[in-house]
Structure 1
Amino acid sequence: MIVEKQEALGVFEKKLESKLGYEFQSKALLKKSLTHRSAIYENRTPRKKVKRVSSNERLEFIGDRVLGLVMAEWLLKRYPNEQEGDLGPRHAHLVSKTVLAQIAELLNISEAIHVALHEEKAGVHHTDSVLADAVEAILGAMYLDGGLKPVQKLVHKLWEKIIESQPLPPKDSKTALQEWVLARGLPLPVYELVSQEGPSHTPIFVIKVVVQKHEGQGQGGNKRAAESAAAKNLLTQLNSIKKPKKAG
């Protein structure tokens, strides 16, 4: 069973290299970038946990920084007249978990991620957070394997359409909601944690936000994402409210 699984993952890794347009000199780095932390203790004995390989967390750490650098340099060249106030939101959006998960879907990374059997049955390798982490780990592995140029080439290729789809700097939903209420002289939004469920590595937060009598709710893999989703939900409601017609 384990041998068959490893052989299948090997096939997926080769497919992934083709999609990346990059062949790893160190196949071990590629394998590590696709290994979720749940899989490192998959082989167990009654007395002792046997550590098979290290997970992709260290590669994710460096991949996050490499992506941030590549994206920052690209945005500076692409938008020479924009200031930090506009470049910052662009950068934050393009390196966000949401966008990284979209990139993972384009590459079909989920089929190559190695997770423990119980996590695989739970569908962990399809969650946005795990997919996003894997993308960062792959970029980190590419950087260590071949330097910055292959990473730059890949990022420009995969992110080009996403950048083109947003000619104006994106605005975070929390910021947009705050601007909405301030423009109308209303009190600032109040955010409240409704619930936190799921395992520690893939939690689900539910947050509600209240502006006077109006309330929105959202969920996400962390509080910030849940607050943003709640703000977006409330903004949609507020913008759908019809203004009363003037008499006369």
Structure 2
Amino acid sequence: MTPAREAQLRALEDRLGHRFEDLSVLDRALTHSSRANEEPAAAGRHNEPLEFLGDSVIGFVMADLLHRRDPDGREGAKSKLRGQLVSARSLARRAAELGLPDLLLLGRGEEKTGGRKKTALWADAYEAVIAALYLDGGLEAAHRFVSAEFAADLERPAMPTEDHKSTLQEILQARGDPVPEYELVAEEGPDHRRRFRVRCLVRGEALAEGEGFSKKQAQQEAARNALARLAG
């Protein structure tokens, strides 16, 4: 590991609130399989196995937090809330807040085809980092970090409504892109059942479209479709 890479990971440690005994675990969590495949010495040292573990760790910690928050609550409601809180879009947004996209080690081909801007890779890296925390510091370290990350959402009295427009804007800004714009493409139907179609644009180029029975609903749908496209 180069001194520059070590400095990057040490800075990430501060944001994670954990000092790693084995920094290579954190480095692996941020190494994509495309990079490992290009370096024979690093064969197999990528983050896919950690993604699997991290997904399970996050799921367990969130189940524990939701149970403690509402011990007698309905299982279905808590499962739905957990799924929403740990969705790929939610994790990608949190990965961006931690600066993980810039720390990913990608292969030349993946980098060339825009892999660093794929939000699916951001979410995968976030799960892998949670696994790294668990492997290096045990369940206590992982639980402490996840609890802090999701504290604000868990304090809300009701299930938060997904705001695709805000999530899209945050992810685009993390990529260095401008905020998206929305334009009305068409509206049709009777006055009491008007349907709108909206186009989401970034830098003047169409990213996705969405429909709804109000302009706001159509914009949210367009943003949701744009997020799906960015996830690649």
* Whole-angstrom CA distance in 2 between matches of 1:105 and 1:158: 13
Whether 2:20 is the aligned partner of 1:34: answer no
Whether 2:21 is the aligned partner of 1:25: answer yes
RMSD: 3.1
* Whole-angstrom CA distance in 2 between matches of 1:87 and 1:125: 33
* Whole-angstrom CA distance in 1 between matches of 2:72 and 2:58: 22
Whether 2:57 is the aligned partner of 1:98: answer no
Q: Report if aligned partners of 1:87, 1:169 keep a CA contact under 8 Å in 2.
A: no
Q: TM-score, normalised by structure 2?
A: 0.67
Equivalent positions of 1:1-248 (< 5 A) are 6-43=2-39, 50-53=40-43, 54-164=45-155, 166-170=156-160, 233-234=211-212, 236=214
Q: How far has the Cα of 1:170 moved from its partner? A: 4.5
Q: Which amino acid aligns with 1:99?
A: S
Identity of matched residues, %: 31
Residue 81 to residue 26, structure 1, CA distance change in 2 (3 Å): same
* Whole-angstrom CA distance in 2 between matches of 1:121 and 1:81: 51
Residue 76 to residue 135, structure 1, CA distance change in 2 (3 Å): same
Residue 71 to residue 25, structure 1, CA distance change in 2 (3 Å): same
**Larger Cα Rg: Structure 1 or Structure 2?**
1
Q: Which amino acid aligns with 1:35?
A: T
Q: Report if aligned partners of 2:92, 2:122 keep a CA contact under 8 Å in 1.
A: yes
Q: Spell out, residue by residue over 1:63-93, the C-alpha distance to the aligned partner (whole angstroms, 9 max, x if none).
A: 1001000000100111234211211111001
Unpaired runs of 5+ residues, structure 2, are 164-192, 201-207, 219-232
Q: Report if aligned partners of 2:211, 2:217 keep a CA contact under 8 Å in 1.
A: no
Residue 24 to residue 238, structure 1, CA distance change in 2 (3 Å): closer
Q: Which of structure 1's runs of 4+ aligned residues deviate more than 6 A?
A: 215-219
Residue 56 to residue 218, structure 1, CA distance change in 2 (3 Å): farther
Q: TM-score, normalised by structure 1?
A: 0.63
